[in-house]
Amino acid sequence: MHELPQQLVNGLLLGSMYGLVAIGYTMVYGIVQLINFAHGEIFMTGGFGALTVWLMLPGGTTMWVALPLMLIGAIIVATLIAVGAERFAYRPLRSAPRLAPLITAIGLSIVLQQAVWAWYPDAKSSVVFPEIPGGPFHIGSITIQTGDVFLLLAAPVSMAFLGFFVKKTRTGRGMQATAQDPDTAKLMGINTDRIITVAFALGATFAAVGAVAYGLKYGEVNYRMGFILGLKAFTAAVLGGIGNIYGAMIGGIVLGLAETLTTAYIADVPGMSQLGGQSWGNTWAFVLLILVLLFRPQGLLGERVADRA
């Protein structure tokens, strides 16, 4: 088990990114019982939003100035698309059978991917994302890449903000009430349509933070980046117990750790030498999902089984 601390940190970082995106799946599901399969693409548009801001800034702008602006750009783009999707694609189907919005979500995800592919300049393949200069940083035997420093800060800050928002603000209480019992929430005077919009907007905001983290981590964004990552984040949400915002983060971290550790070490297990390495990482992530669903179908922190599509 050489380099175990390093692998744990890598897993934690990867998992925090999954967790940031997973929050959007879990919040929307918790409130409207919709698996928003377009959420991965909302994450992707956030990445392109940040990139666009970078390209618009005058040459020579330092990252310390650019990064906050890019983050704001990412959040604005992702939020507008998510709120627009809710308003024009999902809301008209609110009382339709569950499959209708689900299929709409899959359709929307394809539309968003293809729209970026077709219309974003030079986005037919990966586009280079700016780097934070300096680093990497060494703490004992652990190396942290400069791009990951953003994630290291952004993930806990996002989580603390979300916890505060949901628990301590009036709108947050309204969200909890709407998730638990929408009709009774209306009887409290809660505009549940507005709460749903807020849930989509918040989910998109965290996805946008995740997208900037992705760009900095891998040094690129591309129109397909939301597909596998969205699937992983969805897995994280289910692992943690869909509908539970802390579960999303914990599910993400468990998934990130599992993926990193199996990639690094499973080949050392006798008889498994063929099954290690990067190309098997996804497989092990989903094996973990299957195992959790077999033995704890409500997820790690979930309270009840998802009963609708």
Task: Please give the residue ranges that form the binding site for other proteins (CB under 8 A).
Answer: 170, 173-174, 176-177, 180-181, 183-192
Question: In the bound complex, what is the minimum distance in angstroms from residue 306's beta carbon to other proteins?
Answer: 17
Question: In the bound complex, what is the minimum distance in angstroms from residue 158's beta carbon to other proteins?
Answer: 23
Which CB, 138 or 168, lies closer to other proteins? 168
Question: In the bound complex, what is the minimum distance in angstroms from residue 181's beta carbon to other proteins?
Answer: 6
Which CB, 143 or 176, lies closer to other proteins? 176
Which CB, 114 or 180, lies closer to other proteins? 180
Which CB, 91 or 224, lies closer to other proteins? 91
Which CB, 192 or 262, lies closer to other proteins? 192
In the chain the first and final C-alpha atoms are separated, in Å, by: 41
Give the pairing of strands 137-139 and 127-128: unpaired
Which CB, 179 or 264, lies closer to other proteins? 179
Question: In the bound complex, what is the minimum distance in angstroms from residue 164's beta carbon to other proteins?
Answer: 15
For 82-89, which contacts have Cβ atoms below 8 Å and span 24 or more sequence positions? 82/24, 82/39, 82/42, 82/200, 82/201, 82/203, 82/204, 82/207, 83/197, 83/200, 83/201, 83/204, 85/36, 85/38, 85/42, 85/200, 86/196, 86/197, 86/200, 87/197
Question: In the bound complex, what is the minimum distance in angstroms from residue 86's beta carbon to other proteins?
Answer: 18
Question: In the bound complex, what is the minimum distance in angstroms from residue 80's beta carbon to other proteins?
Answer: 25
